[in-house]
Chains A and B, each alone.
Chain A
Amino acid sequence: MPSRPNWRGTVSTSLSSAPVMGERRRVGETGDLVFAGLCRGAGGFVLLLLGAIIVTLFIGGLPAFRAFGVEFIWGLNWDPVEGREEFGAGVAILGTLVSSILAIIFAVPVAFGIAVFLTELAPPWLRRPIGTAIELLAAIPSIIYGMWGLFVVVPFIQYNIQLAFGEELAALPLVGFLFQSNNFAGTSLFAASLVLGIMILPFIAATMRDVFSQVPPVYKESAYGLGATRWEVMRGVVIPYTRISVAGGIMLGLGRALGETMAVTFVIGNANRIATSLFDPTNTIASVIAMEFPESLSGSLQQSALLAIGFLLFVISFLVLATSRWLLRPRLK
């Protein structure tokens, strides 16, 4: 359609200037208009919905923000006992960030290995089954991860790590304090991060595999032709070529880890105390909300504080995405 008007252009002029097209053309124009309207509506709806959610959370959280001021963000006390309510999101925010970052640290190397194996090393007949298995991992509901975490990961940490060589770990110089804990129930920051890491693994691995396979073969072949080893090709050609998308995949995983609720609630120990050790229990924003929202009275300060930390979670997720965009901006050119 060479004479197709720019869809932003004035439709009425194109109608009047092309009377020959007649009825049929007009039907097409109407269809275009309806289609464009629907698409704009859908796009606008998303924005409206997002805005409405933020506003609702903020208004709901306003009494808590008023009562505690900015200190709400780093305050460490979370005391819902009636008559002396005091709320601070510090522990939950810290727990959310630390557990998500640890999950990224656990997941990225493995995801990288999977992606390299699938794109460079695996025989072709093995790529499909492994690729499908990775995608299936992403399809497992988070409550299943929670149950698996509680019945498998937590006892494993208890018996095979903490009881087996926890004291040796705690005696390590410099990093020993990370393993020094009086908590022997197994539900801990470490368990939560491990489960989270496995949950976000498929997202990161799938993104990495897709972008690695999009590297033009000619680049890689040139490098191999120059005598580069596989590792040198990965490091010198594939990773520089794909780092933006790789970072994007990691951010996708981080975003999912920040808001994960059920699986984390099962294994993190739900204690409003800062974890000074990997084996200490702590809390995340999502798990506090999941635990306390059903019993909070409507209109109470507790419910307001829960909505307020929900708002903060929203802001954190937004900041994470914005930061990643900002970090990547110079390289986008």
Chain B
Amino acid sequence: MNRRALFGAAAALPFLPRSSFAQQATITGAGASFPRPLYDRWGASAREAAGVTLNYQSIGSGGGINQITSRTVDFGASDAPLAADQLRERSLMQFPTVMGSVVLSVNLPGLADNALRLTPETIVEIFLGRITRWNDPKLVELNRDIRLPNLPVSVGYRADGSGTTWVWTTYLSRISEEWRNGPGAGTSVRWPVGNGARGNEGVSNIIRNTPGAIGYVENAYAVVNRMVTTQIRNKAGNFIRPEPAAFNATAAAADWSVPNFAADTIDLAGGDVWPITSPTYILLPTNPVADRVEGSRNTMRFFDWAFRNGSDAARRLEYIPLPEAAHNAIRAAWAQSVKDPSGAAIWTPSAG
């Protein structure tokens, strides 16, 4: 009797602190590392404002997909969208939260930020290892006002599987048939030339240490670390600087009405769009089990709050908020596809 009472108290112990925060819900998510700074910021603000505490583990997109497939978290996060059949077999729905851009950074002595102009053709030739010197006539032709040095071109890339690589190689595949049939697009590919390093910081380290280096990094990382970036010619034929106006133009130009929000934002046709921009996605089970229903509802509450109040925070962290129309389409998709075991919609607009 005595012992049993003791056990009872011990078992109740973990629940005691919770009861005092009854209104505070915790949601867990795992996945892409690219949006982590933003989700952390949103999570910190939403604790007070929306009563939701976010526990986000940035274990990488692949890990996020694995975790949400085995239903060990409330939501997964992936930089690359899943295909329709992948979503169906895992019983998941996906929606974008914000967009990010990938930029090229170079290390050439004395080069000003955003001064170097590159075309899709020259970029592909550099990454295929065909342009090997910076004073190559094709580069000189594009940059009459810069004295390009006779330095070897050193390509840097992400060696760890990453959404950034997926976005970058998707862009290269889009602009070059040879790249599409050669290395192709993926979270890691068979690079014809160059050096691999881990993470944005690894690539930026290659660029910083190697005169003549060029590599792709997240725009947010490049801005924070004041890296020298380049202009790139977009589909419309204009040289674009990687700046917020160009990114917002891309977000506005994208078509968000496509199935599963897998909007194509790479190499869009608009006159002032930055060609290498991509949304990052959240994966949510469409049929959460009974004890995950609350987590699913709170996840949608959290992102609904973030869509309404978090755009400024996103901009400050160099992310690109989605247009209002996309937010509304996402809310409609929640109501339509996420159902509890009884078949009722978990999200209703009033619940937010």
**Residues of A with Cβ closer than 8 Å to B?**
77-82, 84, 150, 154-155, 158, 182-187, 265-266, 269-272, 281, 287, 291-292, 294-298
Residues from chain B with a CB closer than 8 A to the CB of A265 are 159, 198
Chain B residues near A80 (CB-CB < 8 A):
161, 186-189
Contact of B195 among A78, A269, A297 (CB under 8 A): A269
Interface-lining segment among B208-216, B270-278, B286-294, B309-317: B208-216
Q: Which B residues are in CB contact (< 8 Å) with A291? A: 159-161, 188, 196, 198
Interface assignment of B239: CB less than 8 Å from any CB of chain A: no
30 intermolecular pairs with C-beta atoms under 8 Å apart: A77-B190, A80-B187, A80-B188, A81-B189, A84-B184, A158-B209, A182-B193, A184-B154, A185-B206, A185-B209, A187-B197, A265-B159, A266-B198, A271-B196, A281-B195, A291-B159, A291-B198, A292-B188, A294-B59, A294-B60, A294-B62, A294-B160, A295-B61, A295-B62, A295-B63, A295-B160, A296-B62, A297-B62, A297-B65, A298-B70
Beta-carbon contact of B161 and A81 below 8 Å:
no
Q: Is B183 located at the chain interface by the 8 A CB criterion?
A: yes
Q: Report the Cα distance A82→B186, complex, angstroms.
A: 7
Given A80-B189, A158-B209, A298-B66, does the pair A281, B132 have CB atoms closer than 8 Å?
A: no
B105 sits at the interface (CB 8 A): no
Contact B210 A294 (CB under 8 A): no
Given contacts A184-B154, A185-B154, contact A295 B60 (CB under 8 A): yes
**B212: which A residues are within 8 A, CB to CB?**
184
Bound-state Cα–Cα, A77 to B182, Å = 12
Using a CB-CB cutoff of 8 Å, which residues 102-156 of chain B contact chain A?
Answer: 132, 152, 154, 156
Q: How would residues 39 to 71 of chain B score, 1 for a CB under 8 Å from any chain A CB and 0 otherwise?
A: 000000000000000000001111101100110
Shortest CB-to-CB span from A48 to chain B, Å, is 27
Chain B nearest CB from A132 CB (Å) reads: 33
Residue of A nearest to B159 (CB): A270
- Chain B residues contacting A82 (CB-CB under 8 Å) are 186
Interface size class of B (residues with CB under 8 A): 35 or more
Q: A184-B152, A187-B206 are in contact. Are A295 and B195 (CB under 8 A)?
A: no
CA distance A287 to B238 in the complex (A): 41
Chain A min CB distance to B340 (Å):
27
B159 to chain A, nearest CB (A): 3
B162 at the interface (CB under 8 A from A): yes
Task: Determine whether the beta carbon of A271 is less than 8 Å from that of B160.
Answer: no
A242 to B195, CA, bound (A): 43
Partner of A281, one of B65, B186, B196, B198: B196
Interface residue from B63, B132, B197 paired with A294 (Cβ < 8 Å): B63
Q: How many angstroms between the C-alpha atoms of A155 and B156 in the bound complex? A: 15
CA distance A48 to B154 in the complex (A): 48
> How far is the CB of B155 from the nearest CB of chain A, in Å?
9
Q: Given the complex, which residues of B lie within 8 Å of A183, measured CB to CB? A: 154, 195
Most buried by B among A79, A150, A185: A185
Closest 6 interchain pairs by CB?
A: A295-B161, A270-B196, A270-B159, A295-B62, A81-B186, A81-B184
Contact indicator B196/A269 (Cβ below 8 Å) = yes
B323 beta carbon closer than 8 Å to chain A: no
Known A-B contacts A81-B184, A270-B195; A182 and B62 likewise in contact (beta carbons under 8 Å): no
Chain A proximity of B165: nearest CB distance (Å): 9
Contact across chains for B160 and A292 when beta carbons are under 8 A apart: yes
Which of these, A77, A187, A295, contacts B162 with CB under 8 Å?
A: A295
CB of B205 closer than 8 Å to a CB of A: yes
- Return the contact of B161 from the options A77, A184, A281, A294 (Cβ within 8 A): A294
Return chain A residues, CB-CB under 8 Å to B305.
none
Using CB atoms, name the residue of chain B closest to A267: B197
B67 to A, closest residue via Cβ: A298
The answer to whether the Cβ of B306 comes within 8 Å of any Cβ in the partner chain is no
Q: What residues on A are CB-neighbors of B188 within 8 Å?
A: 80, 291-292, 295
Known: A184-B212, A187-B197, A291-B161. 10 other contacts (CB 8 A): A80-B189, A155-B209, A158-B209, A184-B152, A185-B154, A185-B195, A187-B195, A271-B196, A291-B198, A295-B187
Name A303's closest neighbour in chain B (CB-CB). B62
- Among B69, B190, B213, the residue within 8 A (CB) of A185 is B213
Interface presence of B221 (CB below 8 A) = no
Smallest CB separation, B228 vs chain A (Å): 17
Most chain B CB atoms below 10 A, which of A80, A270, A297: A270
Contacts of B195 in A (CB 8 A): 183, 185, 187, 269-271, 281
In angstroms, Cα B194 to Cα A270, docked, is 9
For B202, the chain A residues whose CB sits under 8 A away are: 266
A297 touches B66 (CB 8 A): yes
Q: Which residues of B contact A298 (CB under 8 A)?
A: 66, 69-70
Chain B minimum-CB-distance residue to A272: B190
Complex Cα gap A169–B319 (Å): 48
Known interface pairs A79-B189, A80-B188, A271-B195; A184-B162 also in contact (CB < 8 Å): no
- What residues of A have a CB within 8 angstroms of the CB of B209 in the complex? 154-155, 158, 185-186
A182 to B191, CA, bound (A): 15
Chain B, 169-196, CB within 8 A of any chain A CB: 183-191, 193-196
Chain A residues with Cβ under 8 A from B198's Cβ? 265-266, 270, 291
B190 touches A296 (CB 8 A): no
Q: Which residues of B contact A154 (CB under 8 A)?
A: 209
Render B326-351 as a binary contact track against A, CB cut-off 8 A, 1 for contact.
00000000000000000000000000
Q: Inside 8 A of A77's CB, which chain B residues have their CB?
A: 190
Residues of B within 8 A of A266 (CB): 197-198, 202
In whole Å, how far is A144's beta carbon from the nearest beta carbon of chain B? Answer: 16
The residues of A that contact B154 with a CB separation of less than 8 Å are 183-185
In Å, the complex CA distance between A252 and B99 comes to 50
Known interface pairs A80-B189, A291-B188, A291-B196; A185-B156 also in contact (CB < 8 Å): yes
